[in-house]
Amino acid sequence: MNIMNQKGEHALHAVIVPTPAQGHVNALMNLAQLLAIRGVFVTFVNTEWIHERVVEASKKGKSLVSKDNLELEQQGWRIRFLSIPDGLPPNHGRTSNGAELMVSLQKLGPALEDLLSSAQGKSPSFPPITFIVTDAFMSCTEQVATNMSVPRVIFWPLCAAASVSQCYANFLVSEGFIPVNVSEAKNPEKLIICLPGNIPPLKPTDLLSFYRAQDPSDILFKAFLYESQKQSKGDYILVNTFEELEGKDAVTALSLNGSPALAIGPLFLSNFLEGRDSCSSLWEEEECCLTWLDMQQPGSVIYVSFGSIAVKSEQQLEQVALGLEGSGQPFLWVLRLDIAEGQAAILPEGFEERTKKRALFVRWAPQAKVLAHASVGLFLTHSGWNSTLESMSMGVPVVGFPYFGDQFLNCRFAKEVWKIGLDFEDVDLDDQKVVMKEEVEGVLRRMMSTPEGKKMRDNVLRLKESAAKAVLPGGSSFLNLNTFVKDMTMSKGLQSKNETM
């Protein structure tokens, strides 16, 4: 790929900075590929902790990223990987202590700027940096973009409604909705209808769960309010959703300063439909589960995964296990690497023996391929936004079992707004409550074998169709991404004009 375009100008060069967590890295890696296909050079900056895991997972899998090959060169497009320390000691429990991680990330600006400046000088095969795409929760990029005089593009990895609620968090403080009073969540008069964007009315418990802390000096509470201030100041806004799902107004509401705001998702879907691997798993994907799925009846398997961060108590996992057993359906369950060692302890006695003819456990699955498999009929999920998007894009209904952050909103919207699934009663009011096996079994049976479940399957199949339309050539997200690249080209032109003035 030539660093000059046909007009003799430098090609575009995007720096992409994800929040260091699986869901965020996946979405932005998919964006990196879609930009690269459109002729943009990409520098992808992970924290060292994430980078080491991607390299390690790719050694065992078939991904193209390795320690010696830190550039992904495929079909003429160029993505370069750089990494930066996250400021925490190596043995820090990053995902279990999100507050310390977030505070540390907020201070990364100077190190990021140093890294990019030295990379600019060292690599003549990459043109000068033209813009930074920053995860909405990486406020440290603000000063870097200003100092480098390049546009700062804010990428929202959440659905538009959750993004709007976060973007307007300081306003919600002034309206008295934050801190969230969980006990008022059932009061119909407490619905939040003051947010812009024509988003459905929100319940207080739909807001990011970090705002439930009643003590405003809580570290996460403060950190998310701080991010909110920075999130309203982007030069361009991109959201991982599609207009047909959430409407244009919800996306436009994310621009408080008149900057363009566009929906470009589901980001993984066009790569998936066109057979491109996202190369961003933090753990090795156990492809063997696909062969197991081949042997199951169409639409019969319940896929169970609670994403990369959510941790359910042992007692809760035991009840989930017994509920799955009682459902009578085959199931594929992702028990993550970090907790899989304790697998014997969390699974009820005799459970593995009793279910061995219809159960498979893996540590990490090729999730999109699993959801696309004809044998999968239901997804029991923590309702992370990527999992929700992947499920609807593959036409698989969901049972939501949220844990934190935006998952409560995603879960409720799946049930009440998009009508593609169910959840468990009252989980959103008290996440300490254990959902018992009878309820787990009951909800799974309602989804798998009642007319109500069939209706939700029909609804999700309609969404599957509109998601594919959105990302394929001529679709809303496809065209929005083209518009974005064109606008970045223009803003580059404007910049060089300003420089010569």
Ligand X SMILES: O=c1ccn([C@@H]2O[C@H](COP(=O)(O)OP(=O)(O)O[C@H]3O[C@H](CO)[C@@H](O)[C@H](O)[C@H]3O)[C@@H](O)[C@H]2O)c(=O)[nH]1
Binding interface with ligand X (CB under 6 A): 21-24, 26, 157-158, 281, 305, 307-310, 334, 364-365, 367-368, 384-387, 390, 405-407
- Sign for the pseudo-dihedral over CA of 144, 145, 147, 148: positive
- Residue 2 or 96 with smaller CB distance to ligand X: 96
In terms of Cα–Cα distance, which of 126, 418, 472, 97 is closest to 273?
Answer: 472
Alpha-carbon gap, residue 119 to 35, rounded angstroms: 20
- Rounded to a whole number of angstroms, the minimum distance from the CB of residue 102 to ligand X is 13
- Residue 206 or 390 with smaller CB distance to ligand X: 390
Q: How far is CA 151 from CA 15, 191, 237, 495, in A?
A: 11, 36, 11, 9
In terms of Cα–Cα distance, which of 4, 82, 81 is closest to 39?
Answer: 4
User: Cβ atoms within 10 A of the Cβ of 313, count?
Assistant: 12
- Rounded to a whole number of angstroms, the minimum distance from the CB of residue 383 to ligand X is 7
- Rounded to a whole number of angstroms, the minimum distance from the CB of residue 349 to ligand X is 26
Q: How far is CA 282 from CA 55, 285, 406, 432, in A?
A: 8, 9, 21, 28
- Residue 22 or 43 with smaller CB distance to ligand X: 22
Q: How far is CA 41 from CA 78, 116, 118, 455, in A?
A: 5, 14, 17, 45
- Residue 10 or 336 with smaller CB distance to ligand X: 336
Alpha-carbon gap, residue 200 to 277, rounded angstroms: 35
Coil, strand or helix at 341: coil
DSSP 281-331: -SS---THHHHHHHTSPTT-EEEEE-TTT----HHHHHHHHHHHHHH---E
What crossing angle do the helices spanning 160-167 and 219-231 adopt, rounded to 10°? 100
- Residue 77 or 272 with smaller CB distance to ligand X: 272
- Rounded to a whole number of angstroms, the minimum distance from the CB of residue 380 to ligand X is 12
- Residue 321 or 332 with smaller CB distance to ligand X: 332
- Rounded to a whole number of angstroms, the minimum distance from the CB of residue 135 to ligand X is 8
- Residue 296 or 391 with smaller CB distance to ligand X: 391
Alpha-carbon gap, residue 386 to 411, rounded angstroms: 12
- Residue 41 or 210 with smaller CB distance to ligand X: 210
Phi, psi values for residue 190, rounded to 5°: -95, 15
